[in-house]
Amino acid sequence: MKLLALTALFFSWSVAFVSAQEPIFIVRDRTGMIKEGRIQRMVSINSLEMLSSDEKSFLVANPVYITRKNSVIPKFPQSKSLWLLNDDCMKFENLVMKDDSFEVESSDFVSGGKIQVPLVDTKMIWLKNPLGILDPNLSRSKMLGEIRSKDIIVLNNAERIDGVLESFADKNMAFDSGAKKLEYNNDSIAVVALSSDENSKKEKRTEMVSLVLNSGARITLSEFNFSEKILEGITMQGIKVRIPFYKIRHAVFLGASVVRIQEIKNIKLIQSSFFETPKGVSPFQAVKNNDFFIAGSAYSNGFSTMGSSSVTFSLEGKYQKLCGFFGFDDVDGRRGRADIKIIADGKVIASWVDRTWKDGVGNLNLPLAATKELSLVIDASLGSKINWCECLLIRAD
């Protein structure tokens, strides 16, 4: 009898322990409703099965954001990451160039598997922060934005060499600089930027899920299936991956009816510098390949407004809701303050007075039915910087 009681106690403790190890997620759907629990199954991009704290199953229709509870979104990995043309990045332990592909091993994926990444889809290999470059993020961002006719190597001492990458092994690589062929130990290399063109022949998916993993890797899946605590999917480059679900920190669902606000056309930005007349800045461009820091989290898609600014979006009455996150930048916004208004066709639909960095992350969940023009109006102190991240426009059904 005593043995049975101890067995029952051990079993109940084991169940509780296993449940405690499963991550708790906060999910926001298209209506703005927030649910919390453990994710059991992704029926489709439009349906999520979850388990509440009292072990009751429920469905979330049309999820938009999934975020791990009581955690921050990690920044891009600062070493040993493979960047792809769509600005996804994969963390790797081993990388070898084989013919027209890179063979990659990564702890982000289910162990025991190697994946092949086509060379034509690879944009950059970030090995480590180069010495002598004070801002590696800015350096990386500029390099990814360059139009290149040749590959580029940046050594740890910040020396830059142009040429053509010929081979990449576990410990060294070969590079043709034009004048001569060179070999480098991988430990001496900071960055390899590749002269890849957009592969327009690949089919573009309308529905996808954009993931941030514990390592900081960003991976976008055009097809996926979740079962047995493993997310199986196909990346935008056609690469098959299997990701343990506990390694996912944040996810954004995109589809034919969901678009990031900075991707629409005809965006107008006006900035007011201190003691200067407001002036238009055209065209408006969102920053890519960068981290947007708010309250410790690092979002990878968005744009920033500096000081007093006005950004106007032409919506043409196509969208019913705006969802997203905003807040003062953790690095450049700690001393700033601002009054913020969001205006739809001349009517203020949301406002925040005297907002500062201490207010943390702000959530957007605003109705836009029939709105033709949407404006963000910021009246801010000198030097303030506000990040607008993962702001999604949702079309009317």
Q: Which residue has the tokens 């979330």?
A: 60
pLDDT at 91: 93
Count Cβ atoms within 10 A of the Cβ of residue 70 and give its class: 0-12 exposed, 13-18 middle, 19 or more buried: exposed
Mention every residue, 6+ apart, whose C-beta is less than 8 A from residue 37.
24, 25, 27, 50, 51, 52, 53, 58
The helix or strand, by DSSP H or E, that contains position 221, with its residue range, turns out to be strand 218-227
Q: What is the pLDDT of residue 203?
A: 52
pLDDT tens by residue, 169-212? 888 999 998 888 999 999 999 999 998 765 444 555 567 899 99
337-384 pLDDT tens trace: 999 999 999 999 999 999 999 999 999 999 999 999 999 999 998 878
What is the Rg, in whole angstroms, of the alpha carbon atoms belonging to the chain? 23
Instruction: Please state the separation of Cα 328 from the chain's center in Å.
Output: 18
pLDDT of residue 124: 92
The SS3 of residue 107 is: coil
pLDDT at 284: 55
Distance CA 64, CA 209 (A): 9
Residue 314: how many other CB atoms lie within 10 Å: 13
- From the list 244, 243, 327, 305, the residue with the least C-alpha distance to 72 is 327
Name all contacts of 341-346 with Cβ < 8 Å and 24+ positions apart: 341/375, 341/376, 341/377, 342/366, 342/374, 342/375, 342/376, 342/377, 343/374, 343/375, 343/377, 344/368, 344/371, 344/373, 344/374, 345/371, 345/372, 345/373
Which pLDDT value is given to residue 89? 93
Query: Tens-digit pLDDT profile for the chain (397 aa)?
Result: 444 444 444 334 433 333 446 889 999 998 889 999 998 887 677 888 899 999 999 999 999 999 999 999 999 998 999 999 888 999 998 899 988 899 999 999 987 678 999 988 999 999 988 887 777 777 887 887 777 778 999 999 989 999 999 999 888 999 998 888 999 999 999 999 998 765 444 555 567 899 999 999 999 998 888 877 888 889 988 899 999 989 999 999 988 889 999 888 888 888 665 434 444 444 455 555 578 999 999 998 999 998 898 999 999 999 999 999 999 999 888 888 999 999 999 999 999 999 999 999 999 999 999 999 999 999 998 878 999 999 999 987 6
Residue 250: its H or E element: strand 248-254
Exposed/middle/buried for residue 106 (C-beta within 10 Å: 0-12, 13-18, 19+): buried
The torsion angles phi and psi of 136, rounded to 5 degrees, stand at -60, -35
Contacts of 329 (CB under 8 A, 6+ apart): 292, 293, 294, 304, 357, 385, 386, 387
Would you say 123 and 193 are in contact if contact means Cβ atoms under 8 Å apart? yes
For the entire predicted model, the pTM comes to: 0.87
Q: What is the pLDDT of residue 178?
A: 86
pLDDT at 9: 42
pLDDT of residue 16: 38
Tell me which amino acid residue 129 is. N
Domains contained in the chain, CATH given: 21-71 (2.30.30.100), 81-193 (no CATH), 208-254 (2.30.30), 258-395 (2.60.120.1060)
